[in-house]
């Protein structure tokens, strides 16, 4: 359900949430660029009123209109008494009124957006029991000194920039939440480090445990690669890679990285991974059989077992890849867990069945699926009709031929 554009009274917002509560399934309410007005302001029906779009029962709109004349205090009392565990609320424009409205409710999930330090301070100081997501816009240069809600699961940085110092301190704060948290940079620019920090030989992140923080990047930038080696990140996703040379130079320097998920146009560089890597998921638009062999051989030099997944379009004859499967099976250091060539040509005409997301299966975890979705929806829009999906467990073989 969507509320977007124009003016929106507090009474209307209360009424919408109350009417959604009894619905016997998960409901997402998205509130767009609505201007929230207080109860004592006139809100006559006009072309400036917010537009309500609903996929729920046709009775919802009528019921909301009938109850919107009730005063705010009574509506709030009624809403607090409702079981709202089925409602996920996403607010795309910051308004302080939301916190007063939702305090004391059992709402399932709340996602809010802040645009500067003032709104960010208010958001972080007025936490709600179901506060799961913060979206940040704007420029942030000084250290991140805000208290984060303990229920936070995702923070999205978009349409702006931050200093690497600010990003360092944000990651440190997130690591104290003691549960998995995703940090998603959506075409967000990481600025050069401050001169004073650049001269300091000891990284700010020295000794920090970031194993619970999952860094996801939609589009890379040169300054990001300067920043990454100074942070002890253990998980990294990058969707749109424009600086493959910098990626290649940076990966060996990520001495704590255990999980890597990236999308590449083709395998056109020597991929040296850090010795601590345990899991790699690569999506290629194009890769040759010789490059596949080279990549697997490089992984086999790491002195412990590595789980490796690859997904790429098949542009050559299937026989070429059948042969490489045989080659992999003959290697003592490689356990072929899954090797499938899929050709959907003539099988399905539904567009959804040919997206990159549709290649996901039970062997893909949530972070794999995030990468598939972002790459498929915003970067690689070409249908995935003929492709190959490989899962390998690559064992380290020592000089005596013993695998581990």
Structure token digits, residue 11: 């009474």
* Tens of pLDDT, residues 55-93: 444 445 445 555 545 677 888 888 888 888 888 887 776
pLDDT per residue of the chain (404 residues) written in tens, 0 to 9? 777 656 667 788 888 888 888 888 888 888 776 656 655 544 444 444 555 555 444 445 445 555 545 677 888 888 888 888 888 887 776 677 776 777 777 777 777 777 777 777 777 776 666 778 888 888 888 888 888 888 889 998 988 888 888 898 899 999 999 899 999 999 888 886 554 344 444 445 555 788 999 999 999 989 899 889 988 899 999 999 999 999 999 999 999 999 999 998 877 677 789 999 999 999 988 888 888 888 888 888 888 999 999 999 987 678 888 888 888 888 888 999 999 999 888 776 677 788 899 999 999 999 999 899 888 888 888 889 999 999 999 987 665 555 55
Give Cα 25 to chain centroid, integer Å. Answer: 24
Is residue 162 within 8 Å of residue 137, measured between CB atoms? no
Give the pLDDT of residue 231: 85
Give the pLDDT of residue 47: 40
Structure token digits, residue 37: 């007005």
Is residue 357 within 8 Å of residue 369, measured between CB atoms? yes
Residue-by-residue DSSP string for 319-336: HHHHHHHHHHHH-TTEEE
- Picking from 196, 130, 193, 187, the residue whose alpha carbon sits closest to that of residue 167 is 193
Structure token digits, residue 28: 């997402």
- Picking from 294, 280, 305, the residue whose alpha carbon sits closest to that of residue 328 is 294
Structure-token match 């702006």, residue found: 160
* 401 Rama sector, left if φ>0, alpha if ψ -120 to 50, beta otherwise: left
Is residue 174 within 8 Å of residue 213, measured between CB atoms? yes
Pure H helices in 187-317 = 195-199, 222-227, 244-250, 289-299
Structure pTM?
Answer: 0.79
**Cα gap 187→221, rounded to integer Å:** 9
Give the pLDDT of residue 207: 59
Strand 51-53 vs strand 2-4: parallel, antiparallel, or unpaired?
A: antiparallel
């Amino acid at each position: 359900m969507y509320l977007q554009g124009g003016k929106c009274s507090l009474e209307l917002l209360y009424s919408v949430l109350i009417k959604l509560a009894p619905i016997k399934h998960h409901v997402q309410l998205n509130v767009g660029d609505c201007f929230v007005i207080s109860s004592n302001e006139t809100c006559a029906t006009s072309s400036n009123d917010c537009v309500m779009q609903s996929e729920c029962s046709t009775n919802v709109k009528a019921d909301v209109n009938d109850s919107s004349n009730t005063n705010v205090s009574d509506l709030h009392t009624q809403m607090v008494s409702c079981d709202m565990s089925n409602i996920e609320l996403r607010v795309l424009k910051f308004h302080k009124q939301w916190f007063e409205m939702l305090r004391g409710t059992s709402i399932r999930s709340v996602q809010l957006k802040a645009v500067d330090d003032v709104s960010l301070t208010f958001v972080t100081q007025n936490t709600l029991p179901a506060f799961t997501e913060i979206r940040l816009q704007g420029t942030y240069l000084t250290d991140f000194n805000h208290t984060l809600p303990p229920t936070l699961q995702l923070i999205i940085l978009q349409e702006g920039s931050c200093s690497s110092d600010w990003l360092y301190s944000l990651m440190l704060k997130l690591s104290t939440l003691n549960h998995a948290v995703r940090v998603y940079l959506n075409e967000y620019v990481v600025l050069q480090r401050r001169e004073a920090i650049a001269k300091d030989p000891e990284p700010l992140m020295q000794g920090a445990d970031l194993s619970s923080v999952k860094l996801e990047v939609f589009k890379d930038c040169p300054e990001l690669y300067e920043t990454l080696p100074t942070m002890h990140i253990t998980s990294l996703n990058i969707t749109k890679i424009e600086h493959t040379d910098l990626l290649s130079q940076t990966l060996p320097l990520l001495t704590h990285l255990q999980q890597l998920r990236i999308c590449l146009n083709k395998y056109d560089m020597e991929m040296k991974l850090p010795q601590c890597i345990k899991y790699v998921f690569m999506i290629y638009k194009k890769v040759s059989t010789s490059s596949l062999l080279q990549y697997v051989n490089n992984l086999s030099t790491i002195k412990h077992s590595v789980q490796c997944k690859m997904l790429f379009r098949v542009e050559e004859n299937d026989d070429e890849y059948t042969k490489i499967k045989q080659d992999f099976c003959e290697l003592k250091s490689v356990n072929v867990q899954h090797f499938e060539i899929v050709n959907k040509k003539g099988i399905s005409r539904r567009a959804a069945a040919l997206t990159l997301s549709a290649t996901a299966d039970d062997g893909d975890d949530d972070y794999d699926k995030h990468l598939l979705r972002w790459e498929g929806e915003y970067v690689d829009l070409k249908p995935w009709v003929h492709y190959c999906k490989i899962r390998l467990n690559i064992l380290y073989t020592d000089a005596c031929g013993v695998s581990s």
